[in-house]
Structure formats: C-alpha cells, structure tokens
C-alpha cells in the first residue's frame, strides 16, 4: 500500500512537455490542433444559428437576482447547470426518498431520479433544436426543494408554511437562491409540476414531461425488482403500446414527444401514447405508491418530521 501511494504521489506534478504546458500523461498526444479558442460570445452566435425558432437563447438570457459578470467561455445556462451539480442541495438528493425510504444500492433516490430526468429531457430537447444545457439545468435542479421522505414531507410541513409546502416552489425560491441562477432556470424548476402554471420556456415544458416519463418508468422498474409487481400486471394498453421494459418504455415516450413536436410544433406527446402514459401512471399509483405499505411508510415520515 505504501509503495503504491508513493508511486501515485510521484505523478502529482504532471509531466513537462517542453512546450509551455504541463501534461497529465508523459506520452500524451492530445490536443486541439490549433491554439485558437471560441469565446462565449462566439459560441452563443453558433448556438443561435442551430437552435429552433422558439428555443431559449443564451445570449438573450443571463438575468439573475444579483448581476454578475459573464464568464469568458461558459454560457449563462452552463454556469447554472454547473452550479447545481456542485451544490450541497443537489448532493443531499442522494439521501432523499424517491419511492422507498430505505433503498438498496439498486433502487432510485431523488439524486438518481434527477439524473435520469436530465437524460430523458435532453433526449427530447436535442432533436427539437432546443437549448439542451438549459433543459439539463432545470432537470437537475427540479427536485432540490424536496424534504426528507419525498412527497410525504410536503404533507408533513404544509401546516407550518403559509400557502402550504410545494417542493417545486421551495426549491426555486428558497433552496437554490444562494446559487443566483438565471430566471429561466428558476422558472422551469418552480413550474415543473403539472399542477403549477406552465413554464415560460419550451425547455421547461420538456422537463415537465421528462419528469413524469422518468419516474413512471423507473419507479415501476424498482417495484418489479423489489417483488412488488410484475411486468405481466401492466395494463394491456401499456404493454401493447409501450412494452414491458424500461428501455422500451423510455424509447416509446421520448420518440412520441419528438414526433408530436415535429408534426404540430408544440411540446407534448401523441395522444395514443399519452393515454398509455396516463394508464401506466395510474397503475403505479394503485399498485405501488398507494399500497398499504407505502401509505404506512408515508405516515411514519410525517409523524417523524412533526415530532
């Protein structure tokens, strides 16, 4: 162990290339082929030329509660995404319930849920020419306002907060305030729930759908792995239109959103697939979220938080 540690320590300074740059690997050939670079403004111009007409542009954004000097290389939404990824509030999601209060290493937490939402949302946003970075920032931050125990904590804390406790509003207006995020990012986080007003950007609307798609699919997969339900129990409508595996289901929902937007120019889902998603979600509520064991688990969370 000591010999290995000493060998690792000897690499800490890197390797002198003899050309004005220190290398991580002495035999590295990696480079860009040019000493030129693209500034933030140049990248924003390139972004503007590739995004769809109603996509959110970085060059027209960047409004924050506290004004900041623009980064020389990163766009405003890249900074937002990076700040969320490095934030304590994002790390805390690892200890917050998705469905199971004491998940094993293979079951989802709020952290893994946020990551999967970001993947689904980006998969929709990219072919539609939307701002993928803004989409990812909203998705990664959308659940940072959750309390311990998931949605049960909203019921537990609601009596003590004027207007009740809504994790989406709390995340945007309280938890993430220290990050000084752009108003577009905060708006998407605040309004990602379907019960809230519509987000102000198409990227935010994509995340609203991606959130539902992700949790319906992965919560079912976790329930199958836990022996709570089986794929054969899925309603015939869901099985015939979306399949029985997470991969099949995600592919169906993502493709349907892209095709719906290509046909209509609106962010949504083809009606027949949206019907299947609704049936899938209803099944999860009846067989997973509202089963007696889940209700008891939620009651315990509420009692603990109010104690």
Q: What angle do CA 82, 261, 237 make, to 5 degrees?
A: 100
Sign of CA dihedral 260, 221, 151, 103: negative
Tell me the pTM.
0.92
CB atoms within 10 A of CB 170: 19
Q: What SS3 class is residue 126?
A: coil
Exposed, middle or buried by CB within 10 Å (0-12, 13-18, 19+), for 59? Answer: middle
Looking at the chain, the whole-number percentage of residues with pLDDT higher than 70 is 95
Report CA Rg, the chain: 22
Look at residue 222 in the predicted model and tell me its pLDDT: 93
Look at residue 232 in the predicted model and tell me its pLDDT: 96
Q: Tell me how far CA of residue 234 lies from CA of 93, 238, 240, in angstroms.
A: 29, 6, 10
Q: How far apart are CA 214 and CA 121, in angstroms?
A: 9
Exposed, middle or buried by CB within 10 Å (0-12, 13-18, 19+), for 114? Answer: buried
Look at residue 119 in the predicted model and tell me its pLDDT: 99
Q: How far apart are CA 75 and CA 43, in angstroms?
A: 8
Look at residue 99 in the predicted model and tell me its pLDDT: 67
Q: Is there a domain that residue 7 lies in?
A: no
Query: Taking the chain, what is the end-to-end CA distance rounded to the nearest angstrom?
Result: 48
Look at residue 218 in the predicted model and tell me its pLDDT: 96
Residue range 183-195, pLDDT digits in tens:
999 999 999 999 9
Residue range 217-267, pLDDT digits in tens:
999 999 999 999 999 999 999 999 999 999 999 999 999 999 999 999 999
| DSSP state for residue 97 in the 8-state scheme | B
Q: Is there a domain that residue 267 lies in?
A: yes
Q: What's the CATH number where 93 sits?
A: 1.10.3210.10
Q: How far apart are CA 81 and CA 250, in angstroms?
A: 23
Residue found under tokens 């960047």: 62
Residue 101's contacts (CB-CB under 8 Å, 6 or more residues apart) are: 149, 297, 300, 301
Q: What SS3 class is residue 150?
A: coil
Look at residue 151 in the predicted model and tell me its pLDDT: 72
Q: Which two tokens stand for residue 200?
A: 């102000």
Provide the number of structural domains found in the chain: 1
Q: Is there a domain that residue 91 lies in?
A: yes
Look at residue 242 in the predicted model and tell me its pLDDT: 97
> Hey, which bits of the chain come out as E strands?
15-16, 22-23
Look at residue 69 in the predicted model and tell me its pLDDT: 95
Q: How far apart are CA 293 and CA 38, in angstroms?
A: 55
Q: Which two tokens stand for residue 292?
A: 């007696």
Q: Is there a domain that residue 50 lies in?
A: no
Q: Which two tokens stand for residue 208?
A: 């609203």
Q: Give mean pLDDT in consecutive 10-residue pieces for the chain, a chain of 307 residues.
A: 77 79 87 82 95 96 95 97 97 78 74 97 99 98 86 78 85 94 98 94 98 97 94 97 97 99 98 98 92 73 74
Mean pLDDT of the chain: 91
Q: Is there a domain that residue 194 lies in?
A: yes
Structural domain harbouring 74: 70-306
Q: Is there a domain that residue 64 lies in?
A: no
Look at residue 297 in the predicted model and tell me its pLDDT: 75
């Amino acid at each position: 162990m000591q010999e290995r540690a000493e060998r690792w320590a000897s690499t800490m300074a890197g390797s002198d290339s003899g050309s004005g740059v220190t290398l991580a690997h002495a035999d590295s050939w990696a480079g860009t082929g040019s000493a030129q670079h693209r500034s933030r403004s140049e990248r924003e111009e390139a972004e503007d030329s590739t995004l769809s007409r109603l996509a959110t542009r970085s060059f027209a954004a960047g409004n924050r509660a506290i004004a900041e000097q623009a980064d020389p290389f990163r766009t405003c939404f890249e900074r937002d995404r990076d700040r969320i990824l490095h934030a304590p509030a994002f790390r805390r999601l690892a200890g917050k319930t998705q469905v199971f209060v004491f998940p094993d290493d293979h079951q989802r937490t709020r952290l893994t849920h946020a990551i999967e939402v970001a993947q689904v949302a980006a998969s929709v946003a990219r072919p539609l020419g939307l701002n993928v970075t803004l989409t990812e920032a909203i998705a990664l931050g959308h659940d940072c306002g959750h309390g311990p125990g998931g949605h049960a904590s909203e019921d537990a804390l609601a009596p003590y907060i004027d207007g009740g406790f809504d994790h989406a509003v709390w995340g945007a207006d309280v938890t993430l305030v220290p990050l000084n995020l752009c108003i577009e990012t905060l708006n998407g986080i605040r309004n990602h729930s379907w019960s809230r007003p519509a987000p102000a950007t198409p990227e935010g609307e994509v995340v609203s759908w991606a959130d539902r798609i992700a949790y319906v699919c992965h919560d079912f997969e976790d329930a199958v792995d836990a022996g709570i339900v089986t794929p054969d129990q899925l309603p015939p409508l869901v099985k015939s239109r979306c399949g029985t595996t997470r991969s099949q289901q995600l592919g169906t929902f993502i493709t349907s959103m892209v095709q719906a937007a290509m046909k209509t120019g609106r962010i949504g889902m083809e009606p027949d697939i949206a019907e299947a998603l609704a049936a899938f979600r209803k099944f999860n509520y009846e067989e997973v979220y509202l089963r007696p064991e889940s209700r008891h688990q939620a009651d315990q969370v509420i009692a603990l938080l109010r104690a």
